[in-house]
C-alpha cells in the first residue's frame, strides 16, 4: 500500500483557542447525569424548581447541550 494516505483521527476537543464547545444536541437525563455528575433526583429537583433549562417531551425530560453548557458557566463563582 505505497499510495495509502493515513489520516490520524483525534478525539481531543482542544483547539489552539482553548476547549472546543460541545456540539449542540439534545441529551436525556442519563447523559446529563454523566456529564454533570449529578444524581437523577438532584436533576428532577432542579427542573421542579425551574433552576435548570429543560424541555419535556411527553413524560421524558430532554436538555439542549448548549443551554446546559451556558447554565454550568453561570453556576461558576469567580474569586474576588
CA atoms within 13 A on the CB side of 35: 17
**28-57: pLDDT as tens digits:** 999 999 999 999 999 999 999 999 999 999
What confidence score (pLDDT) does residue 19 get?
Answer: 66
Count of domains for the chain: 1
The verdict on residue 56 lying in a domain is: yes
Task: Print the domain residue range for 30.
Answer: 21-74
The verdict on residue 36 lying in a domain is: yes
The verdict on residue 4 lying in a domain is: no
CATH number at residue 65: 1.10.10
pTM to 2 decimal places: 0.67
What confidence score (pLDDT) does residue 78 get?
Answer: 86
**What's the distance, CA 18 to chain centroid?**
17
The verdict on residue 9 lying in a domain is: no
Amino acid at each position: 500500500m505505497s499510495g495509502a494516505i493515513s489520516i490520524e483521527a483525534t478525539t481531543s476537543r482542544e483547539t489552539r483557542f482553548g476547549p472546543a464547545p460541545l456540539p449542540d444536541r439534545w441529551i436525556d437525563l442519563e447523559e446529563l447525569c454523566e456529564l454533570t455528575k449529578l444524581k437523577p433526583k438532584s436533576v428532577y429537583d432542579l427542573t421542579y424548581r425551574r433552576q435548570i433549562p429543560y424541555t419535556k417531551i411527553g413524560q421524558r425530560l430532554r436538555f439542549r447541550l448548549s443551554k446546559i453548557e451556558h447554565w454550568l458557566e453561570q453556576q461558576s463563582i469567580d474569586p474576588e
